[in-house]
Amino acid sequence: MDIKGVIFDMDGVIVDSEPLHFESDRRTMAEVGVDLIFEDMKPYIGTPDRQTYGALKQKHGLTETVEDLLEKQKKHKEAVFKEVSMKPMEGLMELMDHLKGQGFKIGLASSSKKKFIRHVLDQLQITSWFDAVVSGEDPKRGKPEPDIFLMAAAWMGCEPEACIVIEDSTHGIQAARQANMFVYGLYNPNSGEQDLSRAHMIVSSLGEILIHLKTNSLDV
């Protein structure tokens, strides 16, 4: 089947934001008496916040509700992201220019919340590039289940088998494979030691993807 659409993850793919997410999580957990290091959060990269904080609550025996923790995280995340000016990942604009020029649909499927996604896309001034934007609040099940990618494909008007996914996390790659989509595993050292082995192709930059798309036909 001919490829019709390309679906991007956001954190660690469009913008190198995983360290900022960790800092907001570190501040949140410090507020309830838990000291986190980056290694503690690796298993949760790519998963929805509610799922992450449910696991952290259980692991550390916290008395706060998940809703309380999410409210604290929201406060810290807003503060952290106001402290920095985000920049697109190297090669992103060139890749998107090529995709649009070739007539591909472009989607975003991120475990982040709608408000944060809007903030990132607006700051990077790329909101108009996307034909569909799916947040972690939209599907009932988050990554590693395939729902978020299947929803993005449907919103773009594409069959799942006609979509490519660009992901940097283990859970994201698992979700894309379950959706029967060709997936690039983008190695990003700031995303931790993610297992990218199930990706159809592992790359170290968006520029590699651009070259590959220009010179190859893809099969799931």
Q: Tell me: the pLDDT tens digits for 120-158?
A: 999 999 999 999 999 999 999 999 999 999 999 999 999
Peptide bond preceding 19: is omega within 30 degrees of 0, i.e. cis? no
Amino acid (one-letter) located at 16: D
Amino acid (one-letter) located at 49: D
* Domains recognised in the chain with CATH numbers: 5-16+87-215 (3.40.50.1000), 18-82 (1.10.150)
The pTM of this model reads: 0.83
Amino acid (one-letter) located at 157: G
pLDDT band at 190 (very low <50, low <70, confident <90, very high): confident
Distance, in Å, from the CA atom of 61 to the CA atom of 78, rounded to the nearest integer, reads 26
Q: Tell me: the pLDDT tens digits for 22-45?
A: 999 999 999 999 999 988 988 888
Say how many C-beta atoms besides its own lie within 10 A of residue 155's C-beta: 18
pLDDT score of 219: 57
How far apart, in Å, are the Cα atoms of 129 and each of 23, 82, 100, 133, 186?
A: 29, 24, 8, 10, 21
* Of 200, 181, 220, 213, residue with least CA distance to 96: 213
